[in-house]
Amino acid sequence: MQDRRASDMMQGRNRTRSPNGRDSRGPSGQVECAFPPMSAGRASMAKGAAEPITDEMIYQAIYEAIVEHRLAPGAKLSQDELGEIFGVSKTRVRPILFRLAEQKIVTLEPNRGAFVAKPSLEEVRDVLAARLVVEEGIMRQVARNVTGGQIAELRALIDAERDARLAGESSRAHRLSGQFHMSLAEMTGNPVLVDLLRYLISRNAISIAMYQPNVGSCSLQGHSEIVDALAARDEERVVEVSLSHLRDIARSLDPAAVDSRRNSLRGAFMAR
């Protein structure tokens, strides 16, 4: 039963959905997920499967559980339990946790193990300050070259996120919110900018979970205003609205609202 559940989870989590609900991949073959897409081949974890689970798939599943807020800041990531969940030895889990630690979304504590990162408020503000610099450059480049098709794609993402919120599908809403910003970065055609923004959004996602536990995602109104400015081909307005959008996030951080959930590790991977 465990292998079957894990198989079902990985087959679902390894793919993402386009705004219309269908699974989709980006032009490079990367999985398009809201919070920093990571490449991972479609495979099953079931025993005897032709394509057994890979380390990349395990990494992707843990990564998404964190940035989609299914695992709260400070949650313990037991190597033994993760090994049981994915049907692998803990020796395979350990380097994956080290990789996540390098991205600053997991912390490793001597004699205690691995935990979802709990960034300080100062660190959170530093990440947002970096996003302001990076996203201004992205917005200027996109504003000068955006196509009608790309504007339609962005509007579809906003509509899909609105539907997810109304349906109470918080994980999907988080994915779509991040995907909006990642799609803008991808429109520059610059893979370095895409990777850099992916890194910043990953860290930002934990910040939102920790200091905005009752908010959860970016403002839909802010996203809509960005797209309206892009449609008007108004570069300065695009930048103004985009930076204001990020500053609103910074202003809404609440040190007193730290997320103190104690959710199940196994349950985080069963959630869809």
* Dist CA 123 CA 129 (whole Å): 10
Q: Which pLDDT score, from 0 to 100, does residue 174 have?
A: 82
Instruction: Of 129, 74, 61, give the one whose Cα is nearest residue 105.
Output: 74
Mean pLDDT, the chain, rounded, equals 79
pLDDT tier at 260 (50, 70, 90 boundaries)?
low
Q: Kindly state the percentage of the chain with pLDDT values over 90.
A: 50
- Residue 87 is predicted with a pLDDT of 93
Rounded Cα–Cα distance for residues 164 and 172 (Å): 6
CATH 3.30.2000.10 correct for 2-117+260-270 = no
Average pLDDT over residues 16-31: 36
Mean pLDDT of the 213-225 span:
73
Nearest Cα to Cα of residue 182 among 165, 197, 164: 197
Q: Which CATH code of 3.50.50.60, 1.10.1740.10, 1.20.120.530, 1.10.10.10 fits the domain covering 121-257? A: 1.20.120.530
Instruction: Tell me the average pLDDT across 176-204.
Output: 94
Q: State residue 234's pLDDT score.
A: 97
Mean pLDDT of 126-133: 94
Average of pLDDT values for 48-64?
A: 82
Taking the domains of the chain in order of start, what are their residue ranges?
2-117+260-270, 121-257
Mean pLDDT of 39-66: 67
Residue 271, pLDDT score: 57
**Over the range 128-144, which residues count as b (16 or more CB within 10 Å of their CB) and which as e?**
bebbeeebbebbbbbbe
81 within 8 A of 266, measured Cβ to Cβ: yes
pLDDT, residue 255, reads 73
Are domains 2-117+260-270 and 121-257 of this chain identical in fold?
no
pLDDT digits (tens, 9 = 90+) for 87-126: 999 999 999 999 999 999 999 999 999 999 999 888 988 9
Cα dist from 86 to 95, 107, 141, 169, 222, whole Å: 15, 21, 41, 24, 38
Is 217 exposed, middle or buried (CB count within 10 Å of its CB: 0-12, 13-18, 19+)?
buried
Residue 155's pLDDT band (boundaries 50, 70, 90)?
A: very high
